[in-house]
Structure 1
Amino acid sequence: MRRDDRDDPFDDIFREIERMMDEMMQGDARGNVGFEQEPAGFGSDTHVDVQETDDDIRVVADLPGVAKSDISLQCDGDHLTVSAASDVREYDERITLPAPVDPDTGTATYNNGVLEVVFDRAARSTDIDVE
C-alpha cells in the first residue's frame, strides 16, 4: 500500500528518511551493510567509566571475551592506554585521566569481563626550599 502524499507537509522528510534507510541497507562496494562497516572495539559496544575521588582515580572498562593474559596497560600519569585482544575483536583505547596520577601506584583487577584500574592521585604540590 502506498501512502497518499500529495498534500503531506512532511513528504520531504519522509523521502529523506527512506533514502537514508535505502542507502544504509544497500551497503558499500565491499559488501558491508549499514553499521557493520565500522570496526568493533572501544567505542562501539564497550563501556568505559572513569571515577574520581579526593584520593584516587578509578577506570572501569567492559572487555567481554578477553583473557586476563591478553590485557596490556600503560600509564604516563595523564593517560591510561588499554590494549586487549580476543578471538573476535581487538580493544585499543587511550583514556585521558581527569587529574594527574602516580603511575607507580596503579593496581588492576579483571573479573568476569570487567577491568578495574585504580591510581593514587599525584601529589598536588611540594614545598620548595629557597637557598
Structure 2
Amino acid sequence: MSRRPFDDDRDDTTDFSSFFRELERMMDDMTGGDVRMDETGFGTDAHFTVYEEPDRLRVVGDLPGMGKDDIEIKCDGRRVTVVADTDRQSYEERIDLPAQVDEHSARATFNNGVLEVELARTDSSKSINLG
C-alpha cells in the first residue's frame, strides 16, 4: 500500500504574529479588553475561583511561572485586581466579588504558584444617623 504525501497548500512563510494580534483584538472585543497574550500567542494558564464563606471570601488562583515579587494585588471592596509581570509574560485579572468586603482586612499568601487572598465580608449598606 503506497501513501501519498500530504498536500498542504499553506504558505510556510505565514506570519503567525499577525494572526495572534488579530486573535487578541477579537478577544478584546468580546471581553471588553484586558486579554493579555504572551509571546507564544497563548494566554497564561491563570485561573481564579471565589469561595464564599459566612464571614469571609477567599479568592484562589493559579499563577504558574510567576514569583511572589512579580505579583501586585489591589482591592476596592467589590473587586480584586491581580497584576503579574515577568520578563516573559504579563497577566492582569479583575475578579468581581459576590459580596462587599473590607479591603483593609485582606491577607494574601503565595505558595508553589497558588495565590490565595482572604477578605472579611462587610455589610453592604451602613445606617446613617440623622443629626
Structure 2 length as normaliser, TM-score? 0.67
- The 4+ residue runs of structure 1 with deviation greater than 6 A are 33-36
Q: 18, 27, 30: which is aligned to 2:15?
A: 30
Q: Radius of gyration: which is bigger?
A: 1
Q: How high is the TM-score relative to the length of structure 1?
A: 0.67
Aligned residues: 111
Inter-CA distance 119–129: structure 2 relative to 1 (3 Å threshold): same
Question: How far is the alpha carbon of 1:87 from its aligned partner?
Answer: 2.8
Inter-partner Cα distance in structure 2 for 1:71 and 1:35? 25
More strand by share: 2
Hey, what does 1:60 align to over in structure 2?
Answer: 60
Instruction: Let me know the Cα RMSD of the aligned residues.
Output: 3.5
- 2-structure distance, mates of 1:86, 1:50: 25
- How far off its partner does 1:86 sit? 2.2
Pairwise mapping of residues 107-122 of structure 1 onto structure 2 (< 5 A)? 107-122=107-122
AA of the residue aligned to 2:73: L
Q: Is the 8 A contact 2:59 2:118 kept in 1?
A: yes
Amino acid corresponding to residue 31 of structure 1 in structure 2: F
Measured at CA, do residues 26 and 84 of structure 1 come closer, stay the same or move farther in structure 2, by a change above 3 Å? farther
Contact 1:26 1:33 in 2 (8 A): no
Please give the per-residue CA displacement for 1:62-111, whole angstroms capped at 9, x wherever unaligned: 11111111111111001111001123211111111111100000000000
Q: 2:28 is matched with which residue?
A: none
Structure 1 gap segments, 5+ residues each: 2-21
* Paired position in structure 2 for 1:10: none
Give, in whole Å, the separation in 2 of the partners of 1:114 and 1:94.
Answer: 17
CA–CA distance in 1 between the matches of 2:111 and 2:130?
49
Q: Counterparts of 1:1-131 in structure 2 under 5 Å? A: 30-32=15-17, 37-38=23-24, 39-40=37-38, 45-131=45-131
Gaps of 5+ in 2: 25-36
Partner deviation per Cα, 1:21-80 (whole Å, 9 max, x = no partner): x9xx879x6334977954149x65221111111110110111111111111111100111
% identical equivalent positions: 45
Q: Which amino acid aligns with 1:106?
A: A
